[in-house]
Amino acid sequence: MTQMSLVDYGIQTEESDIRVHVCPLVRRVHVYPTAFGVKAIETGKYRQTHGYQPGWDKPTALGYLVPPTEISYCLELAFRDLTWDALDIRQDETTTSKGDKAVRLVKMMLKRGMIPFPTESEIISEKDMQITGTDIFVKANFLRAKDIRIQVKCDYKGGRRELGGSGYLFLQTKEHNPFGLN
């Protein structure tokens, strides 16, 4: 295999609003606004490392190892083992297969209201509104966009060390020729 070139492709180039890292090894899902992941890597505090795909001996990605607790508004979500068992995401699967399963999981979580989004709220002090049953207004679409764009990553070893993970999330910034361009 010839030396592969890595091109800018990752968290800093995508147009997502929310990132979801599905971490099968620790059976957790991490959710955060993409902009805060970008801010974390821009601090220069985190180690850059290569990523690999099964069957390739050369790096296929470059990214930063960032502890989930260092990404503002990053939430760690846990749910029943039965869901993880049904998905059966294995480390030796292709990147595509793991990614497809991660997307299916996130779609199910969204459908069931299991992924919280940051919101803005305003406490109502007007007595007439309180009497009619309104105490708080919530602006659910904090991004003020028509749609919320979500990027899902299968981050197999991502998550807390005490659960068996790497202690980090892999925030990719480069990839080997993602669109097959020369």
The per-residue pLDDT for range 71-105, each reduced to its tens digit, is 999 999 998 999 999 999 999 898 889 999 999 99
The answer to whether 120 touches 57, Cβ cutoff 8 Å, is no
Chain segment 22-44, per-residue pLDDT in tens = 999 999 999 999 999 999 999 99
95: helix, strand or coil: helix
DSSP structure class, residue 2 = P
Least confident among 83-92, 121-130, 157-166? 121-130
Nearby residues of 107 by Cβ (< 8 Å), 6 or more positions away: none
Residue 93 CA to residue 12 CA, distance in Å, equals: 26
Structure-token match 């929310």, residue found? 18
Residue 48 token pair: 């850059």
| Section 145-153 average pLDDT | 83
Residue 21 token pair: 């890292």
pLDDT, residue 11, reads 96
Query: Could you tell me the CA-to-CA distances from 31 to 34, 71, 164 in Å, in that order?
Result: 9, 10, 19
pLDDT, residue 182, reads 44
Residue 25's closest CA among 123, 160, 149, 145?
Answer: 160
Residue 49 CA to residue 44 CA, distance in Å, equals: 13
- pTM here? 0.86
pLDDT mean across residues, the chain: 88
